[in-house]
Amino acid sequence: MEKKRVFVCLAVVSLLASSGAWAAHHEGGFEKLAEVWQAAYNEGDVDAVVAMYMEDGMRMPPDVPAVIGREAIKAQIVQGMESGMTKLKIEPAEMMVTGEMAFGHGTFEGMDAEGNTIAKGKWANVAKMVDGKWQIHYDIFNYDMPMPAAE
């Protein structure tokens, strides 16, 4: 009987330890999502940015209706680039993982081609684990200052 208890305790400890490692592995991947998003955007690789969203992902930019699906998200990101925001600096403030869902929020700074700051704001997103990788399900951002008028 005592051997059986020891075995059950070891099995439970092993499961808990492996689930912690699994969660840490998933969390590490999610924490890199903002870094990867920023790098792809700054390289002008819109397709790589859009691939980070779920097929039915939703992006909620300020002052316009939500855009749903990768094609609409791509068009919205291209529009942002064409309006002059060619570079971004993304700063995560908090990232949380709970099972197959993750949540994050932070701040961003948008720059033009010369490196001048043209926008500052905050963002929040929800991601899901899909086929072993994090994909953004919902993404919302807004500005702390008005965007400059288009010339």
pLDDT digit string (tens) for 39-92?
999 999 999 999 999 999 999 999 999 999 999 999 999 999 999 999 999 999
For 103-138, the pLDDT digits (tens) are: 999 999 999 999 999 999 999 999 999 998 999 999
Higher pLDDT, 92 or 27: 92
pLDDT tier for residue 31 given thresholds of 50, 70 and 90: confident
**What domains can be seen in the chain, in order of their start residue?**
2-143 (3.10.450.50)
Taking CB atoms within 8 Å and a gap of at least 24, the contacts of 19-24 are: 23/97, 23/99
| Cβ–Cβ < 8 Å for 139, 121 | no
pLDDT tops 80 at residue 1: no
For residue 7, which phi and psi values (nearest 5 degrees)? -60, -45
pTM of the model: 0.78
